[in-house]
Amino acid sequence: MIIVIQCTDRVGLVADISGLLSQEGLNIVSLREHVDTAENLFFMRLDVAGTADDTALTSKMQHVLPADAIININPTPVKKVVVLVTKEYHCLADILVRNYFGTLGAQVQCVIGNHATLQNICERFDIPFTLVPHQDISKPEFEHKISTLIAQQNPDYIILAKFMRILSPEFVAQYPMKLINIHHSFLPAFAGANPYRQAFERGVKLIGATAHFVTNELDEGPIIAQQIIPVNHSLTAPDMVKAGKEIETAVLAKALRLVFEDRVFVYQNKTVVFE
């Protein structure tokens, strides 16, 4: 049993929670907690052994926790996801392999692409692929078609696996903290387009990738995971792109694992991540 809690902090929260679980005959296998002292916020993730009625336990916890407590007991163990793609295959391929072997922690319901480039690889893994071209139609119409397809799947999360289209605020608002993007840069550096070219021209000695939730501000949503590798003057811009793709795949995989295991709390455009 997994329990995740977010609320205003106060003295004795850990003792109250552990005492209640003990009374219910539940054993705490692992516990991670964090307090943001500046905001007076408390975050906790518990792995608990034993059985209990989720609704009844939630009610009892509400009586011992602050009134603003957000409590989630036994979140969906296998999340449902929809993947949005354009032409680059590396992140999608990794997701499809993990999905095939049951190590993704989620089930890929379908893939939606604005180009047909990646249809073949989806068919090889027996994953439905739908082409929604963005040419010759308005942006609202394009996004409406995608939203309609997503609604048919009712996913827990939508993964932007190198989906190279800027989404409108109206589209993003439909999926608060459900859109997960992989950005080919160590944000906040080199946001926007062509970050590897920007990095090459700047002569940086490190490049990286960032997985984050999508908000209305381009590439400024809450960060889930990041990673960097060293580079030097001998690498060309194409070399950086090649190295960057490997980082992107690894960072997105890590971020998805953390999210799917309910290890990520979001607040005020920041995250608490219990790795």
Active site positions, annotated? 219
Give Cα 102 to chain centroid, integer Å: 18
The count of C-alpha atoms lying within 13 angstroms of the C-alpha of 160, restricted to the half-sphere facing its C-beta, is: 23
Q: Please tell me the distance from the alpha carbon of residue 259 to that of residue 55, in angstroms, as a whole number.
A: 23
Cα–Cα nearest to 89, from 147, 163, 146: 163
3-state secondary structure 204-244: CCEEEEEEEECCCCCCCCCEEEEEEEECCCCCCHHHHHHHH
Q: Please tell me the distance from the alpha carbon of residue 172 to that of residue 156, in angstroms, as a whole number.
A: 14
Cα–Cα nearest to 264, from 194, 178, 198: 178
End-to-end CA distance of the chain: give it in Å, rounded.
17
Q: Are strands 129-131 and 157-160 parallel, antiparallel or unpaired?
A: unpaired
Beta bridge partners of 120: none
